[in-house]
Amino acid sequence: MKTFLNKEALRFGWNTMKKNFWFFVGILFIYWIISFIPSVVNVFVGGGSIIFTIVNIVVQIVLILVAIGITRILLNFAFGYPSKYSDLFKHYRHLINYFVASILYSLVVFVGLVLLIVPGIIWATRFQYFGQFVVDKKLGSIEAFKRSAAITKGHVWKLFVFNLSLLGINIVGTLALGIGLFATIPTTMVAFTSMYKKRLEQFEAPSSTDQKPPAQPEQPAAPESPKTPEHSAVPMDRPEMAPEVQSQ
């Protein structure tokens, strides 16, 4: 992966955020409001009640659905398609695959971190695009893991450094009284998805060794030389003339 792709992805994320700033602000507010509902319920009915448990389960399901919708919206921006708020809730058909893949991803990363941290970093980076493949390519959880591992193969540490740069940008947004997150979160999320698009395109593009050389144009056939008329193999005998007799 070339270094300029990092800058290109970040620039694309920044420009997309500026053009759609209030749209992203609305998405963040929707997500945060839904996330805040269990806390409100807890104030009125208590955290140990059945009502709180039911509300909390429902909210978690809705948040997964919204996460799928956000993934779809980011993919739309990355591939140049329009997005709207209704995209947040209408991709419920991916709910089970996305949920299962999320659980598997958390388990894999946790086990990797227990194994001296480094495997966790590697696995977290190799499988980081599982959500994009579930939503974009409509794959199951296991197949999404395989495809993510395929497009990140040989680029794990470069992608890890890129992810660290995204984290650093959001830390800067937090330091700006948290207000900067309204700009940094959309920027980094779009940049992350743009990098998925770049990796996918490079993976699916045929390599130079696989490309066949262009066919050579057919050479026009050489013109045939004119045929000479055929002669008889045995010439006709001409009649012999009788010798003249001189008069005496």
Tell me which DSSP letter residue 13 carries. H
Contact 161, 131 (CB under 8 A): no
pLDDT value of position 207? 55
- Domain presence at residue 116: yes
Mean pLDDT by 10 residues, the chain (248 residues): 73 96 96 94 84 93 96 97 93 95 95 89 96 96 96 94 95 89 96 96 69 48 51 45 43
* Contacts of 104 by beta carbon, 8 Å cutoff, 6+ apart: 130, 141, 145
Rounded Cα distance, 112 and 106, in Å: 10
Output the pLDDT for position 44: 86
pLDDT at 31: 96
pLDDT at position 242: 45
The answer to whether residue 217 is domain-embedded is: no
Q: Is residue 209 part of a domain?
A: no
> Residue 100 has which token pair?
């299962």
- Is 218 inside any structural domain? no
Within a domain: 224 = no
**Residue 8 belongs to some domain of the structure:** yes
Query: What is the residue range of 165's domain?
Result: 3-204
Q: What is the pLDDT of residue 117?
A: 86
**The whole model's pTM is what?**
0.79
Which residues, other chains included, contact 76 with Cβ-Cβ below 8 Å and sequence gap of 6+? 82, 83, 87
Q: How many domains does the structure of the chain reveal?
A: 1
> Is position 25 within any domain?
yes
What pLDDT does residue 226 have?
Answer: 52
Residue 230 lies in a domain: no
